[in-house]
Every structure is written in C-alpha cells, then in structure tokens.
Amino acid sequence: MQLLPLLLLTFLALKSEAAQILGLFQHPGKSHFDFFRPMFLALAERGHNISMYSYFPLEKPVANYTDYAFQGMPLLTDMVDLKAFETEWKPLGLPFKVPTFFMINDWALKSCEVAFESPLIVQLLESPIRYDVIILEHFVNDCMAALAHLLKAPVIALSSCAIMPWHYQRMGSPVINPIMPMNFLPYTDDMGLIDRLNNFFHFHVVNALYHLITEPATDGLISRRFGEGLPPIHEIVKNTSLMLINQYYALTGPRPYATNVVEVGGLQVGPEKLLPKHLLELIERSPNGIIYISWGSMVNANTLPSAKRKALFQSISQLNEYNFIMRWKTDNDSSQLEDKPSNLYTFDWLPQRDLLCHPQVKAFISHGGLLGTTEAVHCGVPMLITPFYGDQFLNAGAVEQRRFGIIVDFRDFDTEHITRGLRIILDKGFADNVRHSTEAFRHRPIPPLDLAVWWIEHVIQSGGAPLVQSPARHINWIVRNSIDVFFLSLGILLMFLVSLWKLTRLIGRVVAFGSKSKKQKQQ
C-alpha cells in the first residue's frame, strides 16, 4: 500500500499543462449531454480551460468552464408521445427500423442549420484563442466537424450510445456483422440466420442512407455557411483522433474496436450523494423496498395509452408490499393520475443515480435508455425494460442476454406481463445473479472517467495521438476486405491449375508418343 502515494505523486507530476479545450455540441438531447458533461467537469477541475458551446449550460457555474448556450431548438425532454409506439409494422414478423434513421436525420439536420446561424459561431471564428483540442459529438450529423476543421485543432468525438454504422470506417475500426447488432435492433451477439440477415440489411442500408442523404445535405449546409473550398465532410471526419464511447463489454458485449475507439461506459455514474429527505422518509416507510419507474427524460408519461396506464396501475396495486416511485411530469391536466394506486408516488424529477444505488430499491421499470441502464447495472438493480425507440432495443437485448433484467414489449404491456415480469426479477435468485454480474461491470483497471481524461490529455500532449491513427480509415472497401488480394490469389491458383493440367497432358502425350514409337520400332 506504500506504493499508492508514490503512484499518485508520479501521476500528478505528469499532469499536463492547462490546455484550451473547446466543446461543440449542437444536438439538443439531454440524455446525450449528461454523458458528456462529467468529462468536461473533470477536465476543468484539473485546471484546463473549457469553452462549452451547447444547449445545456451549467446550473451553477464552476471555475475554468465557460458556457455559451445555443438557442433555437426545443430541448428534447418530455416530448416523446408513447401512443406512436402502440402499432409497430413488423414485415414477416421481423423488426424493421429503417424509419428511425429518417427521424434522427431530420432532427440532426435541423439542429445543424440552427447552430450555423448562431452568432456564437461568428464569435468563435473571430476569437483569438487557439484551442489545443476540440471535443464534439459523433451521432448523426457531423456539421460541427467542419467548424473544427476551420479552427485547426485535433478533434475528439464522443458517442453517448453504441457507435453508428458510418463511424467504423472513419475510425478505421473493424466490423463483424454477425456479432455486432445494428443500433436500432433488439438483437445481441447471438443471432440466428434470419436475424443476421435482418441485421446485415439494417447495417448496410442505414449506412448507405447516411452516405447518400446525410453527407450531401451536410456538405450543402457547410458550403452555404463557410463557402466552397472545404474538404467533403466524409474526409474531414477521418481526422478524428479519438472516439470515447458509452459502451462497456461487461454490459454491451466484447467488440473489436480500433485502438483509438475507447469504451468508457458508466463514466457518468459518479460518487454517491445523499438522497433528499422526502425520499429517505418514503424509503423508511417501505420495509419491503421500493420499485423505481422511469422512462427517461424524453418520454412524456402523460401520453401512456389509458389501457396500458390502467394495466400498470393494476400491477402496482397487486404488488402492494412494495412502494413505487415514478418520474411522471404532470402537465396542466393531472386527471391521468386520479386513479393511481396508493402505493405509487410520482415526482417531476428524481435523483436517479442515488435512488438506484439505495439498497432498498429492489427493481427498476425502465425504457432501456443507456444512462439509466448503466446506472442500474452499476448499482445492481434488476430491470424490467420496455424499449420504445432508438438504441433502447439494443440496450434491452444486452440486458436480457446478460440477465440484468427482462424485456416486456410495449405490445404486451398488460397487467399479466408486468406483474409476472416483476415477480421474476424480484425473485431472490435473479436479484443475487444481478448483484454478482454488477461486480464484472465495476471491476476495472482504471475508473472510466479517469480513463477518458487520460485519453483526452494524451491527445492534447501528443498533438492528435498520431500513433493510434489506423490507416484502415483511408483504404477503400475492396482493399479493406482484401477482395483484390482474394481475386489475385484465385487468379494465381487458377493459372497454376491450368498450367498443371496442360503439363500433365503434355507429359501424357509425350509418354503416349514414346510408347507408340517403341511399339512401332518393335513391329
């Protein structure tokens, strides 16, 4: 243990000089930014100077962190209408999620247009500050990468979800379709033939749509804003030094990432804070425990169709040995909560991380959003997940495969399924297994936030981490898949076989000729 202070001292001595760090986040998704912010707070605490352009200024300003707030996009909170997911088209009984691409592509393009019109961009381009690194988000639209290109600094990308099909090539990271489910699908790394077919279809169709639709639209926006003369966006994004992603193999499965794609899933969990008094009192009044319900910041619980609301309420009253705490932001009309059971308590907002880690919280009814899911896994709380959209199906698939919880489809969201599902995950054997698996998620050589900070500082110190840039990002599809080598080898093999065949025939003829002339001589 005497080693520890020594190690700490070396670590402090190696601490880099204060750097100028620019954050550029034009996407107004709170659940995305909640994953990014802890990294910037940690960097500010280490003395770096953060200039943050986003929709989410800090509520309480901190030293070394200056906010510049974008305006003009509605924040994506309490806006998702659950009625939209009641009927889902499943051709041949298979999930079909290509429309998700068009939805997020439209949002992303709009947020780029709005950000490009912001006076903040003018101010940023005119500012004399030279940034040591620019950190932005890789999600659906990369318009901010053009701005980063103009500001001439190494670029780091963050992803708050599993990386999208178009991110692999730009980072030079390999893809193994049969074990890598596409973001919008409910699959895991264990797929049958039909699932693999559907996965392959989704991965490559959505990837093609990105190249055919998103990239030209982005290039159009960029040339309108900054004039002609910039490289195309698909070239600019290959200049990304590092990608930090919200994945961790103990939950989301092992994947073959390139060296500069680093898993830092769970970094937002942070140290535990004391729960507010009213929640502690409620927990005290619940000797058998609490079940926590939240469908995230985007879903509007008031839009839960009434049959499903009644089913949920009925399940809650059936499990009356537990108290239920739910994030339910009431709008002007609170009639939906009139018939709520007496053991259900609703709140506009809840401290999710600290609630989940309270030992009296026994289960989590969730939508499979990645932040809540990792927090539950970190805290060892079994989940009953009803995925609605985006990557929630993928996350839910991983949770069920690793027995951190079970899935109840929205189609089946009735009293029978909910109550039975809750009984399964509340069972002692199931809960013990979750507590066991959570060890694997927590047990790491270095906490994920420290790992993220280490990599960011490494990019700064090394001027873009040149040694971990894979040349694979610059080679085309034919070379990357060794198709040329395959055909060349095939050609050589064929030539060899043909020559061998001709040679055998020649030898055969010579031998035949020889024996013929011998016979003739003998005659």
Give the chain's largest Cα–Cα span.
119
| Residue among 8, 11, 47, 478 that touches ligand NAG (CB under 6 A) | 47
Task: Pick the closer one to ligand NAG by CB: 150 or 440.
Answer: 150
Which of 18/307 has CB closer to ligand NAG?
18
Structure tokens at 56: 């989410």
| Coil, helix or strand at residue 31 | helix
Decide if residue 44 touches ligand NAG (CB under 6 A).
yes
CB atoms within 10 A of CB 512: 10
Q: How far is the CB of 21 from ligand NAG (least distance, A)?
A: 9
Beta bridge partner(s), residue 363? 291
By CB under 6 A, tell whether 125 contacts ligand NAG.
no
343 near ligand NAG, judged by CB under 6 A: no
Cβ proximity to ligand NAG: between 46 and 329 the closer is: 46
Q: Does 438 bind ligand NAG (CB under 6 A)?
A: no
Whichever of 153 and 418 has its CB closer to ligand NAG, that residue is: 153
Query: DSSP labels for 344-413?
Result: EEEES---HHHHHTSTTEEEEEE---HHHHHHHHHHT--EEE---STTHHHHHHHHHHTTSEEE--GGG-
Nearest of 34, 490, 7, 472 to residue 296 by alpha carbon: 34
Rounded to whole angstroms, how far apart are CA atoms 259 and 171?
A: 9
Q: Is 122 in the site for ligand NAG (CB under 6 A)?
A: no
Per-position DSSP letters for 66-107, written without gaps between them: EEEE--SS---SS-EEGGGGSS---GGG----HHHHHHHHHH
Q: Is 232 a residue that touches ligand NAG (CB under 6 A)?
A: no
Nearer to ligand NAG, 76 or 124 (CB): 124
List the one residue from 25, 27, 37, 49 that touches ligand NAG (CB under 6 A).
49
Q: Cα–Cα distances in Å, from 321 out to 144, 229, 316, 359? A: 51, 67, 9, 16
DSSP assignments along 258-300, one per residue: -TTEEE-TTTT--S--PPPHHHHHHHHT-TT-EEEEE-TTTEE
For residues 386 and 469, which CB has a smaller minimum distance to ligand NAG in the complex? 469
If the CB atoms of residues 119 and 192 are measured against ligand NAG, the closer one turns out to be 119
Q: What is the DSSP letter of 199?
A: H
Q: Interface with ligand NAG includes 415 (CB under 6 A)?
A: no
Mask for 178-197, x = binds ligand NAG (CB under 6 A): --------------------
Tell the smallest beta-carbon distance from residue 172 to ligand NAG (Å). Answer: 14
CA distance 112 to 120: 13
Residue 165, interface with ligand NAG (CB under 6 A)? no
| Interface with ligand NAG (CB under 6 A), residue from 114, 175, 204, 231 | 231
Among 118, 177, 239, 461, binds ligand NAG (CB under 6 A): 239
Q: Rule CB under 6 A: which residues touch ligand NAG?
A: 18, 44-45, 47, 49, 51, 62-64, 66, 129, 149, 152, 154, 231, 235-236, 239, 464
